[in-house]
Amino acid sequence: MSATPVTRYGKGATRSDRKLRIAFAVFMVVLVAGTVWIGLDVANPGVRGSIPSFRVTSDSSVEAQVEIRKDADKEAVCVLRSRDRDGAEVGRRELRFAKGEKHIERTETLQTAGKPNTAELENCHTVG
């Protein structure tokens, strides 16, 4: 006496199981696509800023050479800041870069509340 495949292996996947698998597959595709899209957006920012050089000019100021690369039709904003030897922030100023140029180089002097040790550019982003 031989058993039929249904009695031996059980009933096959039901229709609701297939729908659940399809829904899960669609969810995973959307999740992966969203993650890739966000990653590419973060990896390719609209503004790139750097400080190729800086010079401490006194016990209360630092001079920084600032370079910005952005789309010519966008305005950009960055924060220039300085820290003392212990890492505490001693100065901060918002810098604005107008529309019209893609590559901007300028020297900025930042007044500080203590003796500066560094100059840093952070939080660069486009506006409008």
* Rounded average pLDDT per 10-residue block, the chain, 128 residues: 67 73 92 86 78 95 95 92 95 94 94 96 87
Coil, strand or helix at 34: helix
pLDDT at residue 38 in the model: 81
Q: Is the CB of residue 89 less than 8 Å from the CB of residue 55? A: no
Which pTM does this prediction carry?
Answer: 0.65
Fold of 47-127: Immunoglobulin-like (2.60.40)
User: How far is it, in rounded angstroms, from Cα 90 to Cα 81?
Assistant: 8
